[in-house]
A and B are shown apart, each in its own frame.
Chain A
């Protein structure tokens, strides 16, 4: 603790440079604030360094390898003389071309806007002053406003300390080799995406899921599509399984779990534990402030992203809601606007969620189940990719598009896509739902042919009761 140092005065301190923090810093600077951004680790946060971006790179490498050894040869007549995988090159591409390009880009964007980057750990002294400690150095900053964007970290479960062959998502993205056998504890989005990537790269994968089904947060009809593909690729899914303990040797790791009242042990090269994430709110000196937390350690905010201390804001994984990068970035812009004196509320109608499995899953707004639970009168229209020309040319006909619309007004209140390009296609629904469009608004919009996006128009026509291709 440094005492007696003169605190320097700043407009805005942003703690954390992830998709929440860096966006908040940039937007606030655009709106005239003098901004200092504090980062203890890597610019770009979890998403760019050890999350969204590197995982998508590995998923893509998996698709490329899998296509070489399987689909194209057996179906499209494209034969290669046996694909080989150079894992070191794959990792190098991911780290040096993909991650470095993006994080370097973020750093440039921050510098371009004259945002001061301070490397170090931030601790609140009180509601007004923050201390940034970097090794021997410390900076005291007295801020007019502050945005907490410290993100989250993987949850560790008892008897499964992240060490050696027991890895969290960061470790799983940087394994020294493609495992012969990988066990994944927790079949949520992170676990399922990495299961797919490593299965495509040639690993035997076993998922242990505590709940009765994987991919919690998506509905059963969607999960079934992804599960069918997992089964085809030999991924073993054990549901309602409780992980008990792990024993490591230099060669392998043995995982003991209980399912249906029976204890079993499986031996694998590596074990990924991906059972969830917890907010990083416990080590930043919030106890020295009047910022209120929930008992789960989330920061309580209003719809302007203000905490119980009105000039301290919080965004992203540290506040309630889905732990998603685009949600953090949206909240960032809300917080920055309010700090700059604008009157802006967090009023997004719905936030899309995507799982990059095979095929991809994307959902936003109401599902048939959630609409039923809320007693809403809805119209459900479901159109299969098997009836879409582009999907047939891609040999990717598994899945469907579903629209949930208000029965009376035809306004779209939810959409689900499982199938090729779902992650990109959902954006059209994001626009539709955010603007209160009806299914007719989409059917009256000319979509190019042949495209996957056309299936959105087809689903809308189905919702209007005037289907063409089904």
Chain B
């Protein structure tokens, strides 16, 4: 569950941008998904399954 792999602000950003955190590769400290990870994921233009 991506909820537990990202900080609250990153979760909020992902939600607002329709990104599924479970599909994002984490590069942050302690295996966290960072804001940058989410933005990179967004930039690759992958289809987000809803």
One digit per residue, 1 when the CB lies within 8 angstroms of any chain B CB and 0 when it does not, for chain A 432-462 equals: 0001111011001100000000000000000
Interface size on B, residues (CB 8 A): 9
A304 contacts the other chain (Cβ, under 8 Å)? no
Q: What are the residues of chain B within 8 A of A445 when measuring CB–CB?
A: 8
Give the docked Cα–Cα distance between A437 and B8 (Å): 9
Residue on A with the closest CB to B34? Answer: A436
B9 engages A440 (CB within 8 Å): yes
Give the docked Cα–Cα distance between A436 and B28 (Å): 10
B30 engages A444 (CB within 8 Å): no
A444 engages B29 (CB within 8 Å): no
Q: What are the residues of chain B within 8 A of A410 when measuring CB–CB?
A: 9
Tell me whether chain A's interface is mostly helix, strand or loop, or mixed: loop
Residue on B with the closest CB to A436? Answer: B29
Q: What are the residues of chain A within 8 A of B8 when measuring CB–CB?
A: 440-441, 444-445
A436 CB to closest chain B CB (Å) equals: 7
Residue on B with the closest CB to A464? Answer: B9
Give the docked Cα–Cα distance between A444 and B7 (Å): 10
Q: What are the residues of chain B within 8 A of A444 when measuring CB–CB?
A: 8-9, 12
Residue on B with the closest CB to A442? Answer: B8
Give the docked Cα–Cα distance between A445 and B11 (Å): 12
Task: Give the A-B contact count at a CB cut-off of 8 A.
Answer: 23
One digit per residue, 1 when the CB lies within 8 angstroms of any chain B CB and 0 when it does not, for chain A 398-432 equals: 00000000000110000000000000000000000
Q: What are the residues of chain A within 8 A of B30 when measuring CB–CB?
A: 435
Give the docked Cα–Cα distance between A436 and B9 (Å): 11
Which residues of B1-50 have CB atoms within 8 Å of chain A's CB atoms? Answer: 7-9, 12, 28-30, 32, 35
Give the docked Cα–Cα distance between A440 and B8 (Å): 8
Give the docked Cα–Cα distance between A438 and B8 (Å): 9
Q: What are the residues of chain A within 8 A of B9 when measuring CB–CB?
A: 410, 437-438, 440-441, 444
Q: What are the residues of chain B within 8 A of A437 when measuring CB–CB?
A: 7, 9
Residue on A with the closest CB to B12? Answer: A444
Residue on B with the closest CB to A432? Answer: B7
Q: What are the residues of chain A within 8 A of B29 when measuring CB–CB?
A: 435-436
A426 CB to closest chain B CB (Å) equals: 20
Q: What are the residues of chain B within 8 A of A440 when measuring CB–CB?
A: 8-9, 12
Give the docked Cα–Cα distance between A409 and B32 (Å): 17
B36 CB to closest chain A CB (Å) equals: 10
A345 CB to closest chain B CB (Å) equals: 13
Residue on B with the closest CB to A347? Answer: B29
Q: What are the residues of chain B within 8 A of A436 when measuring CB–CB?
A: 7, 28-29
Give the docked Cα–Cα distance between A441 and B32 (Å): 14
B29 CB to closest chain A CB (Å) equals: 7
Q: What are the residues of chain B within 8 A of A409 when measuring CB–CB?
A: 35
Can you give 22 contacting A-B residue pairs, CB < 8 Å? A409-B35, A410-B9, A435-B7, A435-B30, A435-B32, A436-B7, A436-B28, A436-B29, A437-B7, A437-B9, A438-B7, A438-B9, A440-B8, A440-B9, A440-B12, A441-B7, A441-B8, A441-B9, A444-B8, A444-B9, A444-B12, A445-B8
- A-B pairs, 10 with minimum CB distance: A444-B8, A440-B9, A441-B8, A441-B7, A438-B9, A441-B9, A437-B7, A445-B8, A444-B12, A436-B29
List chain A positions with a Cβ less than 8 A from chain B: 409-410, 435-438, 440-441, 444-445
Query: 13 other contacts beyond A409-B35, A435-B29, A436-B28, with CB at 8 A cut-off?
Result: A435-B7, A435-B30, A436-B7, A437-B7, A438-B7, A440-B8, A440-B9, A440-B12, A441-B7, A441-B8, A444-B8, A444-B9, A444-B12
